[in-house]
Amino acid sequence: MTGTLDLTEFHDELRTVARNVLAAADRDSAPSWTRVSTSGWLGLEVDEEFDGAGAGFAETAVVLREYGRAAARGPLPAVAALAVPALGLVDPGSVRDRLLREAVAGATVPVLVLGGETLGVTPFRLDSGVEGPVLHGETSFVLDAPGADRLLVPATRSDGTVVLVDVDPGAGGVEVTDQPVLDATRSFGRVVAEGAVVAADTVHAFRDGASALRHLADRAAVAVACDSLGLAEAMLDTTVAYVGVREQFGRRIGSFQAVKHACADMLVSISVSRRLVAAAVRNVAEGAPDAAVSVSMAKSHVCAAAVDIAGKAMQLHGGMGYTWESGIHVYLKRATLNRSLFGSPAEHRRRLAQRYVSPAGVRPRACGPRRS
């Protein structure tokens, strides 16, 4: 991948393979985890020495977008977009390296304990104990926590440093509880640690704890935006195909001006979303100083737009759109959940607005002609 053309071709091939694999899966079940791991998606961002592909976040984003397009189930987003990159941000070691290889091979399903309601902070702390380090804390709406083999818990030590703790979900003092949500395509859990004693070699130091947490939170937000973009594209394609064949009053409804305008609005919104997601993915991958800005712009716009697009798709399908068999409700529920995960549009807009607040908290005076 030495040039733009090669990169585009690689992305197209990756997109095609992902679309075919996900299309072959049953609508009510997750794609085969063996097929997912052998496709190499879990190790896209992992160095070749750990059996990865040595690619980057842009390639992972391609697969995440296809997961949204298919409204696919399974823990790939949690593992490939969050857990595996989190392991890449800590100091190497025999324990970490083994877990990384197992995750890439699909032999282990590690999940990063990042609450769906948090933005770059961790509610867990790691204290010193007689028998070893002791973990305390709790958080909610952790993506795919109920099915995890290992929990990767970011925690703060008493000296303020942030570490990543590798925890067995079945260990004493650790409890993972299912949290049912309206979106049936994904699972969430509440993770509670009450005095859980962990082995010293399962505590991994981040190379830069504070920035690592912010980076992981940004990745989580962009991953959800990629998912929303994919499902919005699927809704537009489905709607255009439907209005092209459905007839009313002796005409195909796609010929009606109101329907044309609605589809055009969906396309414009998706076009803007593509640009915003591309910028956010690029800035996060490169570690750009203003990555947080592009992340919030993408998350706030794309996830809100996806809800509107899924709603329009349901309306344009008429009465059929409201039936269980149509499947549109699956996308609408997923889009609605995406809108609130890892920061609502309002939260991300507040984050963006902080750029216009002076250090002293005084609002800058608006520019314009002075009144006499």
3-state SS record for the chain: CCCHHHHHHHHHHHHHHHHHHHHHCCCCCCCCHHHHHHCCHHHCCCCHHHCCCCCCHHHHHHHHHHHHHHCCCCCHHHHHHHHHHHHHCECCCHHHHHHHHHHHHCCCCEEECCCCCCCCCCCCEEECCCCCCEEEEEEEEEECHHHCCEEEEEEEECCCCEEEEEECCCCCCEEEEECCCCCCCCCEEEEEEEEEECCHHHEEEECCHHHHHHHHHHHHHHHHHHHHHHHHHHHHHHHHHHHCCCEECCEEHHHCHHHHHHHHHHHHHHHHHHHHHHHHHHHHHHCCCCHHHHHHHHHHHHHHHHHHHHHHHHHHCHHHHHCCCCCHHHHHHHHHHHHHCCCCHHHHHHHHHHHHCCCCCCCCCCCCCCCC
Supply the pLDDT for residue 116.
75
CATH of 209-356, one of 1.20.140.10, 1.10.3720.10, 3.40.50.960, 1.10.150.120: 1.20.140.10
Residue type, 237: D
Q: What angle do CA 331, 60, 207 make, to 5 degrees?
A: 125
Task: Assess whether pLDDT exceeds 70 at residue 371.
Answer: no
Supply the pLDDT for residue 366.
47
Listed by start position, the domains of the chain span 4-205, 209-356
pLDDT band with cut points at 50, 70 and 90 for residue 360: low
Supply the pLDDT for residue 320.
85
Task: Assess whether pLDDT exceeds 80 at residue 88.
Answer: yes
pLDDT band with cut points at 50, 70 and 90 for residue 370: very low
Supply the pLDDT for residue 121.
80
Supply the pLDDT for residue 293.
96
pLDDT tens-place string over residues 166-195: 999 999 999 999 999 999 999 999 999 999
Across 254-258, 268-272, 292-296, least confident range: 254-258
Are 296 and 349 a contacting pair, CB within 8 Å?
yes
Rounded to whole angstroms, what are the CA distances from 120 to 58, 216, 219? 21, 7, 10
Whole-angstrom distance, CA of residue 260 vs CA of residue 275: 23
Supply the pLDDT for residue 33.
95
Give the rounded percent of residues in the chain with a pLDDT score beyond 70. Answer: 93
Whole-angstrom distance, CA of residue 300 vs CA of residue 318: 28
Q: Once rounded to an integer, what is the mean pLDDT over residues 241-250?
A: 90
Supply the pLDDT for residue 342.
94
Prediction pTM value: 0.92
Report the candidate in 87, 70, 76 with the shortest Cα–Cα distance to residue 37. 76
Ranked by mean pLDDT, the top range of 116-120, 228-232, 242-246, 362-366 is: 228-232
Supply the pLDDT for residue 368.
45
Whole-angstrom distance, CA of residue 345 vs CA of residue 352: 10
Task: Assess whether pLDDT exceeds 90 at residue 253.
Answer: no
pLDDT band with cut points at 50, 70 and 90 for residue 356: confident
Q: What class has domain 4-205?
A: mainly beta
Are 85 and 219 a contacting pair, CB within 8 Å?
yes
Q: Once rounded to an integer, what is the mean pLDDT over residues 252-270?
A: 94
Q: Once rounded to an integer, what is the mean pLDDT over residues 263-288?
A: 97
pLDDT band with cut points at 50, 70 and 90 for residue 150: very high
Supply the pLDDT for residue 250.
87
Task: Assess whether pLDDT exceeds 50 at residue 261.
Answer: yes
Give the rounded percent of residues in the chain with a pLDDT score beyond 90. Answer: 81
Rounded to 10 degrees, the C-alpha dihedral 348/350/356/358 comes to -120
Q: Once rounded to an integer, what is the mean pLDDT over residues 318-343?
A: 92
Question: Chain-wide mean pLDDT for the chain?
Answer: 92
pLDDT band with cut points at 50, 70 and 90 for residue 6: low
